[in-house]
Amino acid sequence: ALGGEDQIMGRQQMALNMALPAVQSFLVARIGDILRRHDIEYVKWDHNRVLPMPDAAQTRGSYALLDRLRREFPHVEIESCASGGGRIDFGIMERTQRVWLSDSNDAVERLRIQHNASIFLPMAVTGSHVGPRTCHTSGRTLDIRFRAWVAAQRHMGFEMDPRELTDEEAQVLTDVTAWWKGNRDWMYGADILRLDSADPAIYAEQHLEEGGGQFVVFAGKSATSDQIAPRPLRLTRLSPEAKYRVELINRDEVGELSRGQNALKTGPFVVSGAYLMYHGLTLPWSFPERMWVIKGDLA
């Protein structure tokens, strides 16, 4: 075990000392036996332990273990995890195909977590799942639309008991998933550009296709806005002279309390890249815990 016998344990467990070759061989034998005897294609490699000490040898030993498993089982996809052990770095990305940012699947918390992680991680390797109606880590109850669209910002999946879904919720999940499947190929290679929202309640980002032919803006509202009259959200890195067809993908979610004849509410329109970057888009009014999804294509 890593550390002394008097350490504070998590779940009455200690972390194994991955620097020791004998520990690595033991784990290769045990894990390898399971992978050989069962038809397993995916492993979630969790790291929910705070180590008793910082130790570079522990990290190198973990890399060595993964290298041995990858050589013997190249067909198995491995997902690393940040929670607790903080195991997302360039070293781990050489050895795994996907990462999990947090055990919290609360969509409000995920909105911020994903937004900040996008400085380092692209969409293709960042797992994000639609959680249950009531989150197990926060106790917060969230609408299926918000949960689904937050998951659709990244590598989308489900982590819930589908039997809890109402017919309406199942349809929403079907529709959002279909949209994600229809756009994921270009989104995998897109740049995630974090937008500066004048409203601190809104986390906004722009996924820009390689070559700039299309984009999607996700603007998630995490709390009640302090702004009475919202200021436009300015986009970035578009061609100023180009014309873009802009459409609110989830226009059916506009509430009855929405104010005024907002352009995004009334249908697709065509504007220049200069307009989108220097003036911006005024988002429709919404309650907290809602997401606007805006698609743009070269006209």
DSSP 8-class letter at 254: -
According to DSSP, the residues that pair with 193 across neighbouring strands are: 206
The verdict on whether 103 is a catalytic residue reads yes
Question: Which residue out of 6, 46, 185, 297 is catalytically annotated?
Answer: 46
Contacts of 85 (CB under 8 A, 6+ apart): 47, 48, 49, 50, 51
291-293-296 Cα angle (round to 5):
160
CA 78 to chain CA centroid, Å, is: 17
Please indicate whether residue 89 is annotated as part of the active site: no
User: Of 6, 67, 103, 175, which one is the catalytic site residue?
Assistant: 103
- On whether the CB atoms of residues 130 and 158 are closer than 8 A, the answer is yes
For residue 87, give every residue at least 6 positions away whose Cβ sits within 8 Å of its Cβ, in sequence order, or none: 45, 47, 62, 80, 81
Would you name the residues annotated as active-site residues?
46, 103
